[in-house]
Structure 1
Amino acid sequence: MIQHFQFKNMYKNKKLPGWTFSFYFEGTKYSGNYHKNGDIEWDKLVPPKEDTIKKQIHELMLFHVYE
């Protein structure tokens, strides 16, 4: 389960889409970029169960960004 999920705008102009995010999964911190088309670009580490994690991130972003 994802813990401590955080995100912020990638650009100073908040009207431009694109966000950076970070979270913990099984005690390890992961981070990346979430693009307007839903693509996820991981910074360094790719989490195990990547497909499941991506679905959870999409749900969180839909809830928080596209309310």
Structure 2
Amino acid sequence: MLTHFQYKPLYEHADIPGWRFSFYYMKQRYSGIYHPEGRIEWTSGFPEAKSILEAQIHDLMLFHVYDK
């Protein structure tokens, strides 16, 4: 389970989609960029459970960004 999920706009101008995100998983910090088409670009190493965590990140982004 990932914890301390945070996101912020990738660009200063909030009308341009794209977000930086970070979270902790098994006491390790991970970060990346969530692109508007749903592609995840890892800016830190990616976790072993990458596919499971990517599904959780998609769900969180849908909830926090798109379901406002």
TM-score of the aligned structures, taking structure 2 as reference length: 0.96
Residue 27 (structure 1) aligns with: 27
Residue 61 (structure 1) aligns with: 61
The alignment yields a C-alpha RMSD, in angstroms, of 0.5
In structure 1, runs of 5+ residues without a counterpart are none
The whole-number CA distance in structure 1 between the counterparts of 2:22 and 2:34 is 10
Identity of aligned residues (%): 49
The aligned length equals 67
Where do residues 1-67 of structure 1 align in structure 2 (5 Å cutoff)?
A: 1-67=1-67
* Residue identity matched to 2:50: E
Give the drift of 1:48.
1.3
TM-score of the aligned structures, taking structure 1 as reference length: 0.98
Deviations 1:3-56 (A, max 9, x none): 000000000110100000000000000000000000000012101110000000
